[in-house]
Amino acid sequence: MDETTFVFDAEGLVLGRLASATANILLKAAREDRDDKVIIINAEKAIVSGSPTSVLNKYHAKYELNHARKGPFFPRMPDMILKRAVRGMLPYQKKSSGRRALRNLRVEIGCPSHLSGDLPDGHQAGDDSKIRKSTPERFLSLGDISANLGAPSHRWTGGEQ
């Protein structure tokens, strides 16, 4: 059973395209009984296309659906928002392959030290040629959306606001 770890750098990638490609890789691997993993780094630099006002309104509406104890729970941190987007594209409630696929996903804020520079053995850069398109005219980064939702932005800005 050979397993590969794909590493995607989310910087400048559109959230939906990245989530779709990631879900596709994970689901194929889970259905073929392989344990391929996906690591997405720099989650706060992924972008959501659309006018900033409408994007912020959409995310605020999702976040305000929350009830403190009952849910539905919508995350504020950029890594968890991205993971939730991938989860929405997997059949994780209906099929074990969807749950297995979600377990093999890791999303990071920033770039962990072991993934900067050359990738370790068993890791390879994910093919983002199909999802990397020209940057849209109007967009907002996931970090900005999270900061607007009230997440502690010092975690990815390094202290400056």
State the pLDDT at residue 56: 94
d(CA 123, CA 52): 35
Q: Which residue shows structure tokens 């539905």?
A: 72
Cβ-proximal residues to 45 (8 Å cutoff; 6+ apart), any chain: 10, 11, 12, 141, 142, 143
Rounded CA separation 23/25 (Å): 6
Question: In the chain, what are the domains?
Answer: 14-119+140-157 (3.90.1180.10)
pLDDT > 90 fraction of the chain, expressed in percent and rounded: 57
pLDDT, tens digit, 9 for 90 and up, residues 65-88: 878 788 888 899 999 999 999 999
Structural Rg of the chain based on CA atoms: 16
Does the pLDDT of residue 34 top 80, yes or no? yes
User: pLDDT class for 52, splitting at 50, 70, 90?
Assistant: very high
pLDDT score, position 158? 74
CA 81 from chain centre, in angstroms, equals 6
Torsion of CA 86, 92, 94, 98, to 10 degrees: 90
